[in-house]
Structure formats: C-alpha cells, structure tokens
Amino acid sequence: MNPLWQDFLARQGAQLSGDRVNHFGNPVQERQAATQGTIIADLSHFGLLQVDGPDAVTFLQGQVTNDVKLLDGSNSQYAGYCTPKGRLLAIFLAFRHRDLLHLQLNGALTESVLKRLKMYVLRSKVGITEVSDSIIRIGLAGAEAEPVLGRVLGAPPQHARQLVQLENASILRLPGAAPRFEIFVAAENAAALWTALQTGCTAVGTECWDWLEIQAGIPEITPATLETFVPQMVNLDRLDGINFKKGCYTGQEIVARTHYLGKVKRRTYLVHIATDQMPQAGDPLFGDDGVEPVGQIVRAAAAPDGGFDALAELRCESVTMGAIRWPAHQGAALSLLALPYPLE
C-alpha cells in the first residue's frame, strides 16, 4: 500500500493489516451499512498492472480468455489467465485508463503474475509494470452512491462494466444488484477525493467489499486455489469473461473443449454457512457421506446478519443430492442463495 495513503487512512480511523483495512472501528455496524446504507472502501488489497507498448494488445490477446481489442477506454471486462492446461492462475478486471491497458487482480498474486507475464514478452514491444501504489482505487456502493458521485465528480456510468474517464479520476460501474463503483485516482489526489466522497457514506473495511463482490457472484483466484479451476467452473463465462471467437491464447484448447462439449459439470454457487469460524478459500466441501469432497470454497466473507456468505465451486449434481457441509461431512450445512445471473 502507498505509505502516504496508508497514513491518511490511519488518520481516518482505519485499522490496517498489510494492504487490507480490517475496519474503521465498528465492524458490525460497517457490515450492516454494506447492505442497508452507502459505503466507501479502500481497494488497495487489489494489485494493479499496467501494460503498454505498441504490441500490448497483441501480447495480451495471446494470454487471456477475453478479447482485449474490445477495450476502448469506455468499458471493462473480466478475463482469465490460464496455464496451458486451462487452469486459472488469476482473474483480471481489465480496462483502459488514460489510454493504457490495466489489469486488476488479487493482490497476493501480483508479483508472481507479473513475473510470469514478463517471461512471455520475449521480443514483443511491451512493458508491464505494477502501479498499485500510484493509482489509488476507492470503492463506493449503495443507494446514494450515484448522487454522491454526481455531486463530487459528475455523472457516473449507468451500465455495468462501463467506464467514464474524467479529468482527475475515472469511474467504473461494477456488476451486481446494488449500485457499485470503483474510482481510479492518482495517489496525490486520493486523500482529497476520499474526503469529498465520504460525506454521507460509511467507511468500511475490506471484508465488506469482499462481501459485496460475493453477492455479485464475482470469483477470485487466491494462492490457495492456483491452477485449480477451469474458467467455467467459477462462472467466468456467465460474467462475459470468455470470448470463444477470438484467436489463440494459453489454455484455449481446454477452455473451448469445456464449452463445446456441452453442459458444464461444475459451477460456482452463492451459499450461506451458519458458523462462527471463517471458511477459507480452498477449503473442501462434503456431501453427507463424507467420502470425498464435492467442491471447495472459492471465497468467503462475514455476512451482515451473522455467519458467512461464500462462493462455492461444486459438482452440479451434488447440489440436488442432499446437504453439502463445511468443514467436514458432520459440519455446518450450506444454504443455497440466488446468484444475480443464471448458470445456464
């Protein structure tokens, strides 16, 4: 995290742990605000890579599942970054900011993904740099998010994945049932913007933003789930994160085969787990027989009314064959919740 930004957040009451904000003093109230009010959150826990150079688009076309040629500065897209066997190494939120391609990803993967991408540059005229500290990301969500943005910056984007670039900041509208935005701003302007946006908002910790991402059905890859999922297993196709008409990319054969062979046998579901212990990404999930796992946790966050909400990758057939439990076959049963998009 940018040291000056970190100091600013601490002065606002943030309790910090590395690049994550634990809370701003009242985590219970903050979780309630995430579902009932309008919240503002620091998003420094995401890593951000900048890709530039005359061959940037061609290079990325051969690396990710989506068509980066479609990024024109007014939109964004999710995209998977796979091994040759089609297993996800990262999920990117990709967009153009100030006419340069950017890839946002789980912060814990930034260093390894940057190193791997650079390995494949070879003779391409491409530069890849981490800009996590120079471009500050601020999240805003809730019923009053649009009026707040309109008052401070101007009219926000009206459609999911739409990006509006302004003189001093850019605003991206994120998918989900509730209005949700990510603002990109130069580090030197971030404190003033946060101060202006915070009026009428509740400042919340990182986990509240994680919960909103989970409610929107947005998966992430973490160190615990590296090379575990084919993109369709975590619904990347349902998030328009795979373009089946673009040219070749690493892992395409497996991803395309999964698509064209018909029904996907494993999907990611939104679930609630009534427990006081936080499920972790990669934790196995069991049916009542407990013989072998039927899936695993993709990501989880504390729910506003207790327990934890999670995205769980499961064998589709297991969803209708009795209780699914965590952390063992005698543990808490998962309750299925509705995703904001269809799985078929």
- State how beta strands 266-273 and 284-287 pair: unpaired
Q: Does 118 map to a domain?
A: no
Give the domain range for residue 170.
3-44+133-215
Quick one: 40 and 145 in the same domain? yes
* pLDDT over threshold 80, residue 262: no
Distance CA 125, CA 165 (A): 26
* Residue 56 binned pLDDT confidence (cut-offs 50, 70, 90): very high
Q: What is the pLDDT of residue 99?
A: 87
From CA 198, how far away is CA 276, in angstroms rounded?
Answer: 31
- 161, 189, 215: which is the final residue of a domain? 215
Let me know whether 33 and 142 are in one domain. yes
Give the confidence band of 247 by pLDDT, cuts at 50, 70, 90. confident
Is residue 201 domain-shared with residue 312, that is, in the same domain?
Answer: no
- Distance between CA 93 and CA 138 in Å, rounded? 15
Q: Is residue 87 domain-resident?
A: no
**Is the model's pLDDT at 329 over the cut of 90?**
no
Residues 153 and 30 in one domain: yes
What is the pLDDT at residue 321? 87
- Phi, psi angle pair for 192, to nearest 5°: -65, -40
Question: Do both 27 and 162 map to the same domain?
Answer: yes
Q: Do 181 and 258 share a domain, yes or no?
A: no
Q: Under a CB-based contact definition with an 8 Å cutoff, are residues 254 and 85 in contact? A: yes
Name the β-bridge partners of 203. Answer: 40
- Which domain-ending residue is among 215, 245, 268? 215
Residue 328, domain member (yes or no): yes
Q: In this structure, is residue 194 part of a structural domain?
A: yes
**Residues 40, 162 share a domain:** yes
Number of domains in the chain: 2
Backbone φ and ψ of 247, nearest 5° = -75, -170
**Residue at 342 is within a domain:** no
162 with 244, same domain: the answer is no
In terms of domains, do 23 and 137 share one?
A: yes
| Band of pLDDT at residue 270, cut at 50, 70 and 90 | very high
297-306: pLDDT as tens digits: 999 999 999 9
Is 303 within the bounds of a domain? yes
Same domain, yes or no: 255 and 185: no
For residues 41 and 18, give the distance between their C-alpha atoms in angstroms, rounded to a whole number. Answer: 15
Same domain, 152 and 292: no
Q: Are 12 and 23 in contact (CB under 8 A)?
A: no
User: Last residue of some domain: 158, 185, 215?
Assistant: 215
Confidence at residue 261, expressed as pLDDT on a 0 to 100 scale: 86
Instruction: Indicate whether 192 and 233 sit together in one domain.
Output: no
Read off the pLDDT band of 65 (50, 70, 90): very high
CATH for 155: 3.30.1360.120
CATH of the domain at 241: 2.40.30.160
